[in-house]
Amino acid sequence: MPPTLLRLEGNACSAVLELSAGGTAVWRHLGSRLDALDLLAAWPGSELLSMPQGGMDAPSLARLAPGHGNGLAQDGLLRAHRDGLDAIHDWSVESWSQPSPDSLSVQLGDLCAGLGLRIELRLDAATDVLRVEAELHNRGDTELQVDRLAGASIALPDELTEVSCPHGEWANEFQWERRAVGADGWSRENRRGRSSHQAPPGLFVLGAHSCEHQGPAIGVQLAWSGNHRFALERHEDGRLLLQAGEWFAPGEIRLAPGARLRVPALYLALGQAGIGSAARGLHALARREVLRWPGGKRRPRPVHLNTWEALYFRHDEAELRDLASRAAELGVERFVLDDGWFEGRNDDRAALGDWWPDPRKYPHGLRGLAEHVRSLGMEFGLWVEPEMVNPDSRLYREHPQWALGDARREPVFGRHQLVLDLARPEVSQYLFDKLDALLRDTPISYLKWDMNRDLAQALDAHGRPGMHAQVLALYALLERLRDAHPRVEIESCASGGARADLGILRHTQRLWTSDNNDASSRIAIQSGALRLFPPELLGSHVGPAPAHATGRSQSIDLRCAVACFGHMGVEADVRAMSTDERDRLRGWITLYKQWRETIHDGDIDQGHSASGACWWLASTPQRHFLCVFQPEAMPGPQSAALRLPRLRGSGRWRVHLLGRAGQLRQRAEQQSRWLQALAGPGVLADGHELAQCGLPLPALHPEAALVFGLERA
Ligand code: GLA
């Protein structure tokens, strides 16, 4: 039987696989949309293959499901054995179905090893995102020990030769690093037990000349909040083969006879017009497929006041009420009470686990404060860190065995805390009961769900690694809470942005981008985060000056200009601000409210001008919102005009200067006519002009910002 060609049709992209019953599933194409398949249909992959001298007699096609130990060079999806037996795997296609033109399900099996593998592919026409899901089935009658499993091997278009991935640390998240992938390939493992600051589960694969606005690019994300592994291998024909899946600790996964193991969903946003186009694919994916908003629809993202950098552990109810009242006067819409409210929590050494209000700080519980907040027209939100326990807590004293760890070793602490074993039903039940009681007793509409350490020695009650089970138990707990309290929104925080991924976003609606509220640092951090996530998910707060994370000070206007291109909030004691600062903050909050639907519904572009200005653009059919920052000194005396490729052919726009921060580098009298026009009646500009000639900018000093609105003329 000749092989069958199956194609998945996206909008601008196609994927083509060649399947042979009893044989293999092979990649023939992934990339731009194909109108016809003359060549691919007439010439099966195996007929075109050279069998080079000195090689094995096995045809080395780019398989969807490469095996292991079968004579082929391609790395196998699965590393597994049964006490050392059945370690060779060679998948053959048992059946397939194409329930719709955009999806394909392939059932593979290995009779000798007693294994089944189902791979599901879907190329979404609305987003040009390819979703890959897979499930391994132990069909044998003995336990299977799984060391590694990826969902599929994806043969990438051969013009993609470079990888760019996010790195970082606390207060410096989402820093991207790009490199060419050589003949040795490339791989990255995250073994920290949470998505991590250092290696969050996303990357881009790029053409050598691909840049922000041009060239092929694929944005990749694995929907998982724990350990993972990404690998790029150079196939014999030069293409890069991508594999992604969880990283398992030794002995972690043992599949009983009949049991199944799912691989976290892998998403590939196929971009044709630069890194930005692939990033927009990932944004659209998050918006359309991943997020589940309370009530089924996103409401305007309310302006937050978070108490952390305002008061830290100093919880005094009268002071908090005062802070809330002052926040409401500025236009804040949600007041989030951060760490320090529960019994015995006076610093970060004690009390995690004891999730009830501290009677000394809140003699009548949290309800009074929450009702005060609500009487001011704001929502009330609360910080929790349910997965953790301090040894100095009632919970730990009563249930020391509930913490993950190796009883024979000294415990490894992070921020003086241990991790609870959520996979123990009694632990999840305890946490559910405590959170459920809080949500019932107090009108809380928002939880900031924190997670402030890596997992280490994460051994369960039987002494076995429990990281995989921990993530699944976390998702189940979040789901149970959502079911019980469907109107409550949840933010994912982990020492800033150490748990930002599509897995957690299935259960939450906001990411705390970074504990670094320094506006200059934030420009790079938020630019980096915008590669993976749309702005409405990225918490961005106006912090105090000097910034607590860096000791640097920036003007209130710069802090606001940076914060408004995200989910805006304030994280400072607004009572300590001058009247002028408060007035300006109020003005920026008003501006954010006027433009948030554009920012949060818009297609996002970003870039740099030739004189080092960084810009973010949110575009809807009728309006654009544009932020321009000059982080460092300009290289010369003149600003380069800001070219906005997205606006090419988009019609005519009236450009308004909505806000600005910092100093201009030129004499005031010279700039006045241009700036007065922008700040006053606005300036008319054609989309082609804005794309090709660019928007003229005044010369800017470092830490200056200009914020523009463009409305269809
Ligand atoms: C973490 C979070 C902060 C804050 C503190 C409270 O560091 O990232 O935003 O909530 O915990 O302890």
Q: How far is residue 339's CA from residue 308's CA, in Å, rounded to a whole number?
A: 7
Q: How far is residue 502's CA from residue 202's CA, in Å, rounded to a whole number?
A: 10
Q: Is the CB of 339 under 6 A from ligand 1?
A: yes
Coil, helix or strand at residue 286: helix
Q: Is the CB of 341 under 6 A from ligand 1?
A: no
Q: Which atom of ligand 1 is nearest to the CA of 496?
A: 8
Rounded mean pLDDT, 87-104: 96
CA of 495 to the centre of ligand 1 (A): 6
Q: Is the CB of 338 under 6 A from ligand 1?
A: yes
CB distance 278 to 266 below 8 Å: no
Q: What is the DSSP string of 609-655?
A: -TTS-EEEEEE-SSEEEEEEEE-S--SSSSPPPB--GGGTTS-EEEE
Q: State how beta strands 172-180 and 446-449 pair.
A: unpaired
Q: What is the pLDDT of residues 492-541, one digit of tens each?
A: 999 999 999 999 999 999 999 999 999 999 999 999 999 999 999 999 99
Q: Is the CB of 336 under 6 A from ligand 1?
A: no
pLDDT at residue 669 greater than cutoff 60: no
Q: Is the CB of 383 under 6 A from ligand 1?
A: yes
Reported as a pLDDT band with limits 50, 70 and 90, residue 668 is low
Q: What is the pLDDT of residues 174-215, one digit of tens each?
A: 999 999 999 999 999 999 999 999 999 999 999 999 999 999
Q: How far apart, in Å, are the Cα atoms of 352 and each of 346, 431, 474?
A: 11, 11, 17
Ligand 1 pocket mutation, candidates 342, 352, 452, 540, criterion most atoms within 8 A of CB: 452
CB distance 539 to 510 below 8 Å: yes
CA of 406 to the centre of ligand 1 (A): 27
Spatial CB neighbours of 43, under 8 Å, sequence gap ≥ 6: none
CB distance 236 to 242 below 8 Å: no
Alpha helix (H) residue ranges in 202-354: 274-285, 308-311, 317-330
Q: Is the CB of 333 under 6 A from ligand 1?
A: no
CB distance 81 to 99 below 8 Å: no
Q: How far apart, in Å, are the Cα atoms of 275 and each of 213, 261, 339, 607, 694?
A: 6, 33, 38, 10, 20
Q: Which residue has its alpha carbon closest to ligand 1 atom 4?
A: 308
CA of 341 to the centre of ligand 1 (A): 13
Q: Is the CB of 496 under 6 A from ligand 1?
A: yes
Q: Is the CB of 308 under 6 A from ligand 1?
A: yes
Spatial CB neighbours of 362, under 8 Å, sequence gap ≥ 6: 315, 317, 341, 368, 369
Q: Which residue has its alpha carbon closest to ligand 1 atom 8?
A: 495
Continuous segment of H or E residues that includes residue 19: strand 13-19
CA of 450 to the centre of ligand 1 (A): 7
Q: How far is residue 199's CA from residue 465's CA, in Å, rounded to a whole number?
A: 21
Q: How far is residue 647's CA from residue 686's CA, in Å, rounded to a whole number?
A: 8
* Phi, then psi, of 606 in degrees rounded to 5: -145, 165
Q: Which residue has its alpha carbon closest to ligand 1 atom 1?
A: 495
Mean pLDDT over each residue of the chain, to the nearest integer? 96
CB distance 516 to 522 below 8 Å: yes
Residues annotated as catalytic are 450, 515
Q: Which two tokens stand for residue 583?
A: 């007035």
pLDDT at residue 671 greater than cutoff 90: no
Q: Is the CB of 515 under 6 A from ligand 1?
A: yes
Q: How far is residue 675's CA from residue 697's CA, in Å, rounded to a whole number?
A: 9
**DSSP type of residue 537:** G
Q: Which residue has its alpha carbon closest to ligand 1 atom 12?
A: 339
CA of 318 to the centre of ligand 1 (A): 23
Reported as a pLDDT band with limits 50, 70 and 90, residue 105 is very high
Q: What is the dihedral of CA 210, 288, 6, 40, to 10 degrees?
A: -20
Q: How far is residue 616's CA from residue 309's CA, in Å, rounded to a whole number?
A: 26
pLDDT at residue 269 greater than cutoff 90: yes
Coil, helix or strand at residue 562: helix
* Phi, then psi, of 7 in degrees rounded to 5: -120, 145
Ligand 1 pocket mutation, candidates 170, 336, 451, 495, criterion most atoms within 8 A of CB: 495
What's the sign of the alpha-carbon dihedral 321, 326, 332, 336?
A: negative
Ligand 1 pocket mutation, candidates 169, 314, 348, 493, criterion most atoms within 8 A of CB: 493
Q: What is the pLDDT of residues 449-471, one digit of tens each?
A: 999 999 998 998 889 999 999 99
pLDDT at residue 666 greater than cutoff 80: no
Coil, helix or strand at residue 456: coil
Q: Is the CB of 247 under 6 A from ligand 1?
A: no
CA of 311 to the centre of ligand 1 (A): 12
Q: Which residue has its alpha carbon closest to ligand 1 atom 6?
A: 339
CB distance 314 to 283 below 8 Å: no
| pTM (global) more than 0.95 | yes
Rounded mean pLDDT, 698-709: 95
Continuous segment of H or E residues that includes residue 588: helix 579-601
pLDDT of residue 470: 98
Q: How far is residue 285's CA from residue 276's CA, in Å, rounded to a whole number?
A: 14
Q: Which atom of ligand 1 is nearest to the CA of 348?
A: 12
Q: How far is residue 620's CA from residue 598's CA, in Å, rounded to a whole number?
A: 6
Q: How far is residue 686's CA from residue 649's CA, in Å, rounded to a whole number?
A: 8
Rounded mean pLDDT, 43-53: 88
Instruction: Give the angle subtended at the CA of 704 by the CAs of 701 and 705, to the nearest 5°.
Output: 145
CA of 173 to the centre of ligand 1 (A): 15
Nearest residue to 555 via CA among 515, 593, 519: 519
Q: How far is residue 544's CA from residue 517's CA, in Å, rounded to a whole number?
A: 8
SS3 content of the chain, % helix, strand, coil (to 5): 25, 35, 45
Using only C-alpha atoms, what is the Rg of the chain?
A: 27
Q: Which two tokens stand for residue 371?
A: 């009702």
Spatial CB neighbours of 672, under 8 Å, sequence gap ≥ 6: none
Q: Which two tokens stand for residue 502?
A: 């599509």
Q: Which residue has its alpha carbon closest to ligand 1 atom 2?
A: 495
Ligand 1 pocket mutation, candidates 194, 308, 349, 512, criterion most atoms within 8 A of CB: 308
Q: Is the CB of 511 under 6 A from ligand 1?
A: no
Q: Which atom of ligand 1 is nearest to the CA of 383?
A: 10
Q: Is the CB of 449 under 6 A from ligand 1?
A: no
Q: Which atom of ligand 1 is nearest to the CA of 338?
A: 10
pLDDT at residue 570 greater than cutoff 60: yes
Task: Using CB atoms within 10 Å of the CB of residue 454, give its burial: 0 to 12 exposed, 13 to 18 middle, 19+ buried.
Answer: buried
Which residues of 225-289 form beta strands (DSSP E)?
228-234, 240-247, 253-255, 260-271
Q: Is the CB of 495 under 6 A from ligand 1?
A: yes
Q: Tell me how many helices (H) and strands (E) the chain has.
A: 13, 35
CA of 530 to the centre of ligand 1 (A): 21
CA of 100 to the centre of ligand 1 (A): 45
Nearest residue to 688 via CA among 636, 651, 642, 634: 651
Q: Is the CB of 536 under 6 A from ligand 1?
A: no
Largest distance between two CA atoms of the chain: 85
Q: Which residue has its alpha carbon closest to ligand 1 atom 7?
A: 495
Q: Which two tokens stand for residue 244?
A: 């992604």
Q: How far is residue 225's CA from residue 505's CA, in Å, rounded to a whole number?
A: 9
Spatial CB neighbours of 102, under 8 Å, sequence gap ≥ 6: 8, 9, 10, 122, 123, 124, 125
CA of 592 to the centre of ligand 1 (A): 25
Rounded mean pLDDT, 318-347: 98
Rounded mean pLDDT, 393-415: 96
Q: Which residue has its alpha carbon closest to ligand 1 atom 5?
A: 339
Q: Which atom of ligand 1 is nearest to the CA of 494?
A: 8
pLDDT of residue 670: 64
Q: What is the pLDDT of residues 221-250, one digit of tens each?
A: 999 999 999 999 999 999 999 999 999 999
CA of 385 to the centre of ligand 1 (A): 9
Q: How far is residue 181's CA from residue 107's CA, in Å, rounded to a whole number?
A: 31
Q: State how beta strands 240-247 and 144-150 pair.
A: antiparallel
Neighbours of 578 (CB within 10 A): 9
Task: Give strand pairing partners of 154.
Answer: 242
CA of 404 to the centre of ligand 1 (A): 22
CA of 198 to the centre of ligand 1 (A): 18
Alpha helix (H) residue ranges in 356-498: 367-375, 394-398, 425-441, 467-484
Q: How far is residue 420's CA from residue 61's CA, in Å, rounded to a whole number?
A: 46
Q: Which atom of ligand 1 is nearest to the CA of 493?
A: 8
Coil, helix or strand at residue 243: strand
Q: Which two tokens stand for residue 639?
A: 């600003």
Q: Secondary structure of 123-177 in the HEC alphabet? A: EECCCCEEEEEEEEEECCCCCEEEEEEECCCEECCCCEEEEEEEEEECCEEEEEE
Q: Is the CB of 493 under 6 A from ligand 1?
A: yes
